[in-house]
Amino acid sequence: MIGRTAPRLCKRRTDAGLSPESGGALAACLLVLVIAVVLDRRPYRPGKRNYIPVMIIALAASLVLGRHLLTLLTAHPQ
C-alpha cells in the first residue's frame, strides 16, 4: 500500500511546482516574527521602536505562505 502511494505523492508534489523558495520565504517570515517578539519583550525605554506593525505583517505573510505551501503539498489548486 505504502509502496504504491509514495510515488504518486512525490509525483503530485513535483507536478504542483513545490519549490524551496516558498519554504525559505515562510522560514524567513517566521524568523522575522520571532525576532520582533523578542525585541518587543525588552523593557520599555522612551523612544524605542514599536515592533507591533512588524509582527502583524510577518504573521500575515506567514499565514499566506503557509496556506500556499499546504495547497502545494496536497496538490489542490487554489
How does DSSP assign 37-68, residue by residue? Answer: HHHHTSPP-TTPPP-HHHHHHHHHHHHHHHHH
What would the pLDDT profile of 29-75 be if each residue is shown by its tens digit? 888 889 888 888 888 788 888 888 888 998 898 888 888 877 777 77
- pLDDT score for 9: 47
C-alpha cell at 56: 502583524
Amino acid 49: pLDDT: 83
Q: How far apart are CA 8 and CA 2, in angstroms?
A: 10
Provide CB contacts within 8 A for 66, sequence distance 6+: 26
How many whole angstroms separate alpha carbon 73 and alpha carbon 67?
10
pTM score of the predicted model: 0.59
